[in-house]
Amino acid sequence: MAELNTGDGGGKKGGGKVRSKKSNPGVDLTAMVDLAFLLITFFILTTTLSKPQSMNLALPDEPKADDPVPPETPAWRTLTLVLGSDDKLVWYSGRADGPPLDGPAVSTYGKAGIRDLILSKKKGVDDRNKAEGADLEKSGITIILKPSEKSNYKNFVDILDEMAITKVKKYATVDITPEDIKMLETNNIYN
């Protein structure tokens, strides 16, 4: 805070009029500090904190004892992705225990890898469904995700992101089979 220098009334020494000493003027900042803390408290309490970003997963209802067995998805509408090590995966269409319709082949994650494959397979399934007159909402592509012990969490999150980006409505995560592990070993991505 600034101070004002006040003199003693002149340069004379000795008798004369005695002046009273003036006190320095000051500003009381107590009210302003109180107001600042009230404003800070108000803004802290009224701001919204960033919400965590998460992906919505639709889980199926629990099957009832008297429900019939659901119909099996045709092999030409399925795409299986087996997650391996070294940021690679093996994909195939159809079934692993029978002759696959397409594949198996090795792919990588990202736009130039698995995303292009999913989009092309999805377009092929949609075109065939249109030709057959099937309902596109109910009969789209079904993707089966099979993470292996050698795959990492980042790769699983990446493949879930690809499902959201490509707008695949039906996908499931299932346990890996011995046939799938053999495919990974054959392609050297199960180390």
Gap between the Cα atoms of 174 and 151, Å rounded: 14
In the predicted model, is pLDDT for residue 65 greater than 90?
no
Give the predicted TM-score (pTM) of the model.
0.63
Gap between the Cα atoms of 156 and 32, Å rounded: 54
Gap between the Cα atoms of 95 and 80, Å rounded: 8
pLDDT value of residue 11: 55
Quick one: pLDDT band at residue 3, thresholds 50, 70, 90? Answer: low
Average pLDDT over the chain reads: 80
Gap between the Cα atoms of 143 and 115, Å rounded: 12
Tokens standing for residue 58: 């639709």
- Among 32-41, 99-108, 163-172, 175-184, the least confident range: 99-108
